[in-house]
Amino acid sequence: MDLSLSRIRSLMSLLPRYTRRTIHIAGTNGKGSTTAFVDSILRQAGLFTGRFNSPHLLTGRDSILLNGQEISPDDYQETFRSVATANEIGNCGCTNFELQTATALLAFERTHVEVAILEVGLGGRLDATNVIPDDVVMVSGITAIDLDHQAILGNSLQQIAGEKAAIARRGRPCVLGRQSHMEVVDAIEESVSVIGGYLLHGSAQVQVFPHPPSTPSHPVGATISLHGSHQVHNAELAIALVETLQQAPSFLHVTLKQIAQGLGLASWPGRLEWINYCEPTEYGGKLWLLADGAHNAASAACLATYLKSLPFTGARSFVISLSYSPSKSPRSILEVMLLPGDRVAVVPFASVDGMPWVKPQESVTVVQAAKDLVGSSGEVMAWDDLKAALSWARCGHSVVVVTGSLYLVADLYRLLLTSQIKCWSVV
């Protein structure tokens, strides 16, 4: 993977200048959830928003949202065609992700969104989203940082943190979310200082509690729509970003009630998402699927914490697929998730449109790692077909966890949307 800003800079020079007020968010885990919270809050305040997330779930179109809705097929095709034509005329040689990023920026410019929220794709310093001009960045945000993509971003937390902190801008605020590693905080403080930005700690600005106390000092309580205790910290960062925005001249004031409504209405598909799946099989009808794109040790730990909070006892049932990555072993992800006695179906995910370098880990490697963890009281099987894997995994279970990769979650959505399965719903 050749990370560089040279190609997309050449492309953007051939397109209308990007001028939208922008919130830019980087991090290892939680950046997508944070963008969802911020977007929802600002829409509740009456702002027309644009939002760009990556990777896409089903198609490139679902990564570009205008006021909370996917860009229309016609508008997407027209905007992408303009970008692709400029790329060809300028001989820019942009990658698929760079073309997608430029498409999102052009769509936001054409529709005159009032605030755009951009999620970094990979890293920060050389990520395509970092092509945006300094003067449009109102505030940057950095979510929890952990080890991931070491082959590209560096082998230490300090190196990874420095790459992500490079989205900060001179003279502009950068809000740091809660971190589990002190060396991350030190590295980001140093990087933001060198850039000339000023760092704010989100937890010092606002604190979010799982169950807000109803006292005069806490006049508004909010139910967070996204599942998992880790979402409390993502919501905390989102609120801190919105609070920071309100210090800017002419920015619309956001009320506590609008913040509460935004937190309660945010949506982020494929992350601790419950799906009511009613495909009839020999094992019965109704089945709850918990779909979560946990793909590294830190996100797998969040999933494990959430599973422990559920009122289920005994062995669990999983359908798992992992991406191939030399920097992380299947065991490093599975060991924080699986317990002795669990049942595990291992499947590959389908090829990912626009990302030919993304491959599933060989099933035999994942199977062996899973067998070591579930022990003789558990069971592990490899399957080529997701529907068959779901049928096997549900034996004796009313809940099956589909996890290990967002690309597997995308396969699940495609199965639900294109098969004859009529009875399913998302909560």
What CATH number should be reported for the domain holding residue 337? 3.90.190.20
Q: What is the CATH number of the domain that holds 220?
A: 3.40.1190.10
217 and 292 co-located in one domain: no
CB neighbour class for 46 (10 Å; exposed up to 12, middle 13-18, buried from 19): exposed
Residues 288 and 391 in one domain: yes
Give yes or no for residue 258 having a pLDDT over 70.
yes
pLDDT of residue 424: 47
- Among left, alpha and beta (phi > 0; psi -120 to 50; other), residue 123 is left
221 with 326, same domain? no
228 and 185 in a common domain: yes
In this prediction, what percent of the chain has a pLDDT beyond 70? 90
Residues 64 and 200 in one domain: yes
pLDDT in the model for residue 217:
54
Give the pLDDT confidence score for residue 401 in this predicted structure.
Answer: 95
Same-domain status, 291 and 176: no
Same domain, 245 and 286: no
**389 domain-assigned:** yes
Is 232 within a domain?
Answer: yes
Computed over every residue of the chain, the mean pLDDT equals 89
| Final residue belonging to a domain, choices 196, 231, 265 | 265
Predicted confidence at residue 180, as pLDDT, reads 83
**Domain hosting residue 355, numbered range:** 273-426
Phi/psi at 217 (5° precision): -80, -10
Residue 423 binned pLDDT confidence (cut-offs 50, 70, 90): very low
Q: Is 142 inside any structural domain?
A: yes
Burial of 350 per CB tally in 10 Å (0-12, 13-18, 19+): middle
Mark residue 304 as left, alpha or beta (left: phi above 0; alpha: psi -120 to 50; beta: remaining): alpha
Structure tokens, 119:
């999620």
pLDDT: which is higher, 217 or 277: 277
Buried b (16+ CB within 10 A) or exposed e, 52-69: bbbbbbbebbbbbbbeee
Distances (CA, A) of 84 to 56, 259, 264: 19, 38, 38
In a domain, 305, yes or no: yes
Last residue of one domain, picked from the residues 205, 240, 265: 265
In a shared domain, residues 312 and 214: no
- pLDDT greater than 90 at residue 11: yes
Query: What order of strands is seen across the sheet that includes strand 22-26?
Result: 69-70, 64-66, 49-52, 115-119, 22-26, 137-142, 173-176, 198-201
Same domain, 92 and 199: yes
Q: Is residue 1 part of a domain?
A: no
**pLDDT value for 216:** 52
> What are the beta bridge partners of residue 281?
284
pLDDT for res 426: 54
99 within domain boundaries: yes
For residues 34 and 286, the model is more confident at: 34
Q: When comparing pLDDT for 229 and 71, which is higher?
A: 71
Last residue of a domain, one of 265, 290, 310: 265
The pair phi, psi for residue 112, each rounded to 5°, is: 55, 45
Closest C-alpha among 30, 13, 206 to residue 94:
13
What is the pTM for the complete model shown? 0.91
User: Vertex 126, ends 201 and 6: CA angle to 5°?
Assistant: 145
Q: Could you tell me if 237 and 277 lie in one domain?
A: no
In this structure, is residue 376 part of a structural domain?
yes
pLDDT at 421: 52
pLDDT band at 377 (very low <50, low <70, confident <90, very high): very high
Number of domains in the chain: 2
290 and 157 both lie in a single domain: no
Same domain, yes or no: 163 and 306: no
On whether residue 301 sits in a domain, the answer given is yes
